[in-house]
Each structure stands twice: as C-alpha cells, then as structure tokens.
Amino acid sequence: MEQTPYRAIFFDLDGTLLPMDLGEFMQSYFERLAGYVAAHGVDPETFTAGLKAGIKAMASHDDSRLNSEAYWEAFFTIVDEGAADWIPLVSEFYERDFGEIGRGVVADPDAARAVSALRSKGYPLVLATMPMFPLAAVKWRLRWAGIDPSAFSRITNYENSTSVKPKLAYYAENLRAAGLDGSDVLMVGNNTLEDLACLDLGMDAYLVTDHLLDPAKFDLSTVKHSRMAAFADWAEALPVCEAPAADIVSGPVAHEA
C-alpha cells in the first residue's frame, strides 16, 4: 500500500487505545466522584447536577474559553462556590481516587505495540481524546491502557482545549498546536462521527474496529480500517517519519491562531 508521508499521528483514547465500555466507565466515575465529595461534606446530588451542567457547557460552548473555564462557570450556577475549596478538592480526587476506577481494565497489548512502533519510527504522537477531563485523569486512562503518557507530545484535556469532538474547531486547534496541515496527519479512532470529522480538514483516518461506534452510518470501505492487531502490524510496516512535526504545543493554543 502506498503510504502518505505523515508528519504526526493523532490517537483517540476510549474504544481505540483503551478497551473500556464508556457507559460503564461514566457510571462508575459519577458514583465514585459523588461519594468522594460526600465524604468531604458536599451534597452529592447538588454536586452531580453541577457536574452535568459543566459537561453540557463544555460540549456546547463556541467561544474562546477553555473547556475548564466553561465547566466551572456552569458548575457554579448550580453549586455554591463557597461551599468548598473546589480546585484542590477535585484535583486530589483525580490525582489519587480516580485511578481506582480502572481496576480490572484489561489492556490491549496491540495498542501499546502500535504506539511503540510509531514512536520508534519517529512519528510525533498527539492524544486527541475528548477534552472533558483534567490532564491527571487522562494520564490515568492511558496507564490503564498500558501506555506511558510521555509517549504523547500533546494530550488534549479540559485545561488546554477550547472545543470538543466532532467540531472542526477541535481538530483545527490541534493541527495548529502541531504546526501542521490536515494532509500531514493520520487520525486513529473508533467513532465514525467524532473521529472521522477530521476528514473535513483534509486529515487521513484509520478506524480501529474492535470497539467500533458508528453513529454516522459510515461506509467503512472508504477509509482505512481493521482491528487493533492489524493496525499495529500496519504501523510496524510504515516507513520512518521523514519530516516529523517539531515543537508541538502541549498547552493552550492562542484562539486567534
């Protein structure tokens, strides 16, 4: 197969590198976080309502605010800002307790093999996951997948992103962070709506089908696709990256850019 001279590879996380049922994960996440704040004297029902309002705000806002800013602004319309020292309280949860949610997750060794193969060939990697969690939480989820977070030059999270999938602004922001055009990048994902939106910016795509989500009813014959094991084989067969992206921005990108 003739290969596109990619200058970076973008990866989705949930259902792609991390074989986890998203519905079960979110239920466990909500329950554990509610229990945590309750143990610190916060009403869990009010907190959960604020949490959901924040998530909705991150998904819907179209301005230059970071997702974290949109989240907290919406959260405090429901939850008393003075009821707790919120940032340290929540940060402690993600640094420590959040990791327990991943107990029992069975990592796919082929995912780690694919990442290792691409790194060994000099491809810069960006974790293009839905940026609704703090960085600490995303790093935990990578560890559940058996992958070292340091493999990625940029990890999207709610503190460095101003948009979410499948908005084109999300992909444009990450292309700008990498200093690349769409044609320079391969996006690896499992969701035909959230991940294949990248095609509209000229990016190439590879669908991993082990945990395929197909809300777009996409014609898979029009895009590269396979199970993760075959993708890892494909990655191992890629040539060395000839012109890797340099100086990929890990933090926020100026909105004007």
What's the average model confidence in pLDDT over 161-189? 98
pLDDT confidence of residue 4 = 66
* 124 and 14 inside one domain: yes
10 Å Cβ neighbour count for 2? 3
Sequential DSSP letters for 5-71:
--SEEEE--BTTTB---HHHHHHHHHHHHHHHHHHTT--HHHHHHHHHHHHHHHHH--SSS-HHHHH
Say if 189 falls within a structural domain.
yes
Say if 194 falls within a structural domain.
yes
Phi and psi at residue 174, in whole multiples of 5°?
-75, -30
What's the average model confidence in pLDDT over 195-219? 97
pLDDT band at 254 (very low <50, low <70, confident <90, very high): confident
Say if 164 falls within a structural domain.
yes
What's the average model confidence in pLDDT over 230-245? 96
10 Å Cβ neighbour count for 129? 26
pLDDT confidence of residue 106 = 94
User: Do the beta carbons of residue 125 and residue 244 sit within 8 Å?
Assistant: no
Q: Quickly count helices (H) and strands (E) in the chain.
A: 8, 6
Q: What is the CATH number of the domain that holds 145?
A: 3.40.50.1000
pLDDT confidence of residue 94 = 96
Q: Which of 33, 67, 102 finishes a domain?
A: 102
Task: Measure the CA angle with vertex 219, ends 214 and 220; round to 5°.
Answer: 75
pLDDT confidence of residue 79 = 96
Residues with Cβ within 8 Å of residue 19, at least 6 apart in sequence = 105, 106, 107, 108, 111, 145, 210, 211
* 47 and 171 inside one domain: no
Q: Which of 83, 102, 121 finishes a domain?
A: 102
* 16 and 30 inside one domain: no
* 60 and 174 inside one domain: no
CA-derived radius of gyration, the chain: 18
Whether 111 shows a pLDDT value over 90: the answer reads yes
Say if 48 falls within a structural domain.
yes
* 151 and 45 inside one domain: no
pLDDT band at 78 (very low <50, low <70, confident <90, very high): very high
Q: pLDDT above 70 covers what percent of the chain?
A: 98
Whether 185 shows a pLDDT value over 90: the answer reads yes
Query: Domain span at residue 66?
Result: 23-102
What's the average model confidence in pLDDT over 157-186? 98
pLDDT tens figures, 3-12 = 568 999 999 9
User: Do the beta carbons of residue 216 and residue 210 sit within 8 Å?
Assistant: no
Mean of the per-residue pLDDT values of the chain: 95
Say if 255 falls within a structural domain.
no
pLDDT tens figures, 154-169 = 999 999 999 999 999 9
What's the average model confidence in pLDDT over 47-52? 96
Say if 68 falls within a structural domain.
yes
* 140 and 76 inside one domain: no
Whether 1 shows a pLDDT value over 70: the answer reads no
* 130 and 223 inside one domain: yes
* 97 and 199 inside one domain: no
* 117 and 54 inside one domain: no
Say if 118 falls within a structural domain.
yes
Q: Which of 102, 135, 157 finishes a domain?
A: 102
What's the average model confidence in pLDDT over 204-208? 98
* 33 and 145 inside one domain: no
Say if 252 falls within a structural domain.
no
* 176 and 96 inside one domain: no
pLDDT confidence of residue 204 = 97
pLDDT band at 257 (very low <50, low <70, confident <90, very high): low
- Report the predicted TM-score, pTM, of the whole model to 2 decimal places: 0.96
